[in-house]
Structure 1
Amino acid sequence: MYVVPPPQGSDPRAADVAEPRTYQKWKGSNIFLLEGRFIFGPDVRSLLLTILLIAAPVTIFCVFVARKLMDDYSHHLGISIMVIAVAFTLYILGLLMVTSGRDPGIIPRNAHPPEPEGYDGPAEVGGGQTPQLRLPRMKDVVVNGFTVKVKYCDTCMLYRPPRCSHCSICNNCVERFDHHCPWVGQCIGLRNYRYFFMFVFSTTLLCIYVFGFCWVYIMRIKNAEQITIWKAMTKTPASIVLIVYTFISVWFVGGLTVFHLYLISTNQTTYENFRYRYDQRTNPYHRGLVENFKEIFFTSIPSSKNKFRARVPREPGLQPRSVGGGFISPNMGKTVGDLEMGRKPTWREAGAGVGDFEQGLNNDGLDNKEGGFDDASPDLSQGLPVESMEGRAGIHPRRSSWGRKSGSWEISPEVLALAAGVGESNRVGSGSGSKTAGN
């Protein structure tokens, strides 16, 4: 006897397997490894170059300098030179991976825009229309007794917390955003700034260590053979290469270390410093030298707000919204779908009675490239429709301008004649069908 197989999805275990994980539906530009256990920026390939720039000179140092010094010094002292170099290099590479491969403090996106404050539902006005409620472009919050403005992020559909900014490279809002470092291929923020500074500072010490022992080896050759220092340098070309390399590198990483020591002591971020945030006003986060250092190095790092390996239920289909009611964002208003950076949303005319008219909105100008970071989209609240279009085919909505002069959508007489002809043919067809059925 034939048995009808059970429908697919009836097994709860099969349904659980079908549900994707968070990192599989991630809307940012990040790259995940080991099934979401490590999160990197889109430029993670530069991390390989950084590892090569650290490991290659240390390998040359161990082979051509430290190994020779083992013969010149006593057994334990000679071995310790190489052991310290290798151990310190592994420690630096570990800091690099922790800085690059963890969540820097990404704030999860909202599925829908937040409701305006004081919004108690649609209020009926004349003609059955609902008023448009616009979200404010900025909001004021109080931090340590000072008023700080926070911006609305159109991509993440949330008000950014203080010191948070949207990284245009990773396409995420990051808490206490410092900068996006191409050398580690990751944003530097609240959860990895400590490890980033330790990485830069430790790399500076490694450069000084290699630089110093290369000169020690040259002086050992000079004293052993009773020759000039220039002739001693020609006998160890590897030392000369390492001295030049570490001298150039220490200016880069050493200068970066000094700069971030200044930022920590004044409780600033690189993003705030480059934008001259506190040149004309008081820094509300500055609490004194000691407290500033304790905040960075001696406070617990908050847990990630994202569970990248957690299963997420499949989102149901988006329900259409009425254009004339509800509320809109300060720029575009997420009344139609999900506005993503780089996508071109469509505006569908509701209840026009003559098909579906679609018009792509130009997305030029979404990127605000001040200082190399995408901070916010332009204010588009001036070009949004105010009147309800539901059931009013004769009134055409105004087009959102996005920085251009506003216009109107006009339906040509040919389209109206075509629509009238289609409607007439439908009535004639239905009338003849009813006559045929009556006969």
Structure 2
Amino acid sequence: MALALSSDKLADPPKLPHWKQWPGNNIFLCHGRIMLGSDVSFLGVTVVLLTGPFVIFILFVGFEIHYSLAIVGAVLFAICLVFLTQAALTDPGILPRSNIPRPDPHQPHQITARGFRYCSTCKLYRPPRAKHCKYCDNCVRQFDHHCPWVGTCVGLRNYRFFVYFVFSVCLTSGFVFATSVAVLVLNTTNSDADGHWINRFADAITSNPASLALVIFTAFVFLSVLGLASYHVNLILQGQTTNENMRQVFRRVHNPNDHGYKKNCDSTFCSRIPISQIHKGIYDEESPAGALLP
């Protein structure tokens, strides 16, 4: 009898965390605590695009007027990196794959009746607002979009960090743009070049070409990111995701997720972030969708 019980225990598969046998296109570090998306190389490009202009700003522009401007620029740059890291390394709300068989389309199901849809890739019932990302190859709760700039999906658990990152980039690029313009104006005013003001402006550019480069670069970044930030502010106020807005899900029907401007903002920025499910045992039989049912 004891031998039979021992053999039964050996037959049971070990409950490994999902990240140890992850079928999606993610990279895990630090025992699964850090989760990278499928666009790690693109994330590196984002870091370079942030760091390069910041180094140029500190070396050639930040101290031209007053050292305090360089300190402010460094603080804003640090804030950008913090929010980028949080958005890129946080589990966006991925639903671990299951082994639920494909349902019979001719028989109604209590889960599908409540807005859940079956994903044939992940073999689970994903809840409303969730979507399967073809780039990361995962189902993500409250899927907003896949952002290559942060290297991963943006969903329920990292959306606020993504928005914070967009806001911080907008603020930082605007600050660097204004400071660089001020340096150009100051150098033009103090120039000893003779003749028209264009000559003095050309002399200012010659003495500090980095300021002009930063003006052009940050002007483009500021206008681009400002449009993106405005778009997401509008989405938050309407209680929609980018995926829902692009598909016009609520064009002709009522949006049940719109609870007014204040509650929508509270839900986005002040609500408790759900616990990640990536450490759940990979052989657990409980359906991730079933666990989300009230």
So what's the TM-score if we normalise by structure 2?
A: 0.83
| Aligned residue runs from structure 1 range 176-325, under 5 A | 176-225=142-191, 228=197, 230-231=201-202, 232-307=204-279
Number of aligned positions between the proteins: 269
CA displacement at 1:90 relative to structure 2: 1.4
- How far did residue 102 of structure 1 move? 1.3
Q: Give the Cα separation in 1 of the matches to 2:146 and 2:284.
A: 32
Match of 1:139 among 103, 109, 112: 112
Q: Identify the structure with the greater helix proportion.
A: 2
**Structure-1 separation of matches of 2:284 and 2:129:** 33
The alpha-carbon deviation at position 61 of structure 1 amounts to 0.7
2:40 to 37, 44, 47: 44
Q: CA deviation at 1:245?
A: 0.3
Is the counterpart of residue 34 in structure 1 residue 30 in structure 2? yes
Residue 54 (str. 1) matches residue 50 (str. 2)? yes
DSSP 3-state at the match of 2:73: helix
Q: Distance in 2 between matches of 1:153 and 1:224?
A: 66
Distance 1:201 1:82, change over 3 A: same
Instruction: Kindly name which structure, 1 or 2, has the bigger radius of gyration based on alpha carbons.
Output: 1
**Residues 100 and 186 in structure 1, CA contact (< 8 A), matched pair in contact too:** yes
Report 1:38-437 matches (<5 A).
Answer: 38-69=34-65, 78-113=66-101, 139-141=112-114, 149-225=115-191, 228=197, 230-231=201-202, 232-307=204-279
1:137 and 1:173 map into 2 onto residues whose CA distance is: 20
Backbone CA RMSD of aligned residues: 2.7
Q: Could you tell me which residue of structure 2 aligns to residue 416 of structure 1?
A: none
Cα offset for 1:270? 0.5
Alpha-carbon offset, residue 111 of structure 1: 2.7
Counterpart AA for 1:294:
D
Percent identity over paired residues: 36
Q: After TM superposition, give the deviation of residue 202 of structure 1 in Å.
A: 0.4
**Conservation of the 8 A alpha-carbon contact between 1:41 and 1:186:** yes
Distance in 2, Cα, partners of 1:302 & 1:50? 27
In the superposition, relative to structure 1, how do residues 135 and 164 fare at CA in structure 2: closer, same or farther (>3 Å)?
same
Which structure has more relative contact order (CA 8 Å, sep 6+)? It is: 2
The TM-score normalised by the length of structure 1 is 0.57
**Displacement after TM superposition at 1:43 (Å):** 1.4
Counterpart code for 1:252 = S
Give the letter for the 1:50 counterpart.
Answer: T
- On the 8 A contact 1:138/1:152 being kept in 2, the answer is no
Give the 4+ runs in structure 1 shifted more than 6 A: none
Could you tell me which amino acid in structure 2 is paired with residue 161 of structure 1? P
Indicate if the aligned counterparts of 1:156 and 1:172 stay in contact, CA closer than 8 A. yes
Aligned counterparts of 1:21 and 1:269: Cα–Cα separation in 2: 30
> SS at the partner of 1:112?
coil
Q: Residues 112 and 159 (structure 1 numbering): CA distance in 2 closer, same or farther, change over 3 Å? A: closer
Name the CA distance, whole Å, in 2 between partners of 1:115 and 1:162.
17
Q: In the aligned structure 2, how far is the partner of 1:158 from the partner of 1:111?
A: 7
Q: State how far apart, in whole Å, the 2-side matches of 1:20 and 1:181 are.
A: 29
Amino acid at match of 1:166: H
Could you tell me how far apart the structure 1 residues matched to 2:260 and 2:267 are?
11
Whether contact under 8 Å (1:137, 1:152) holds in the other structure is no
Deviations 1:275-315 (A, max 9, x none): 0111111111111111111111111111112217x7x6799
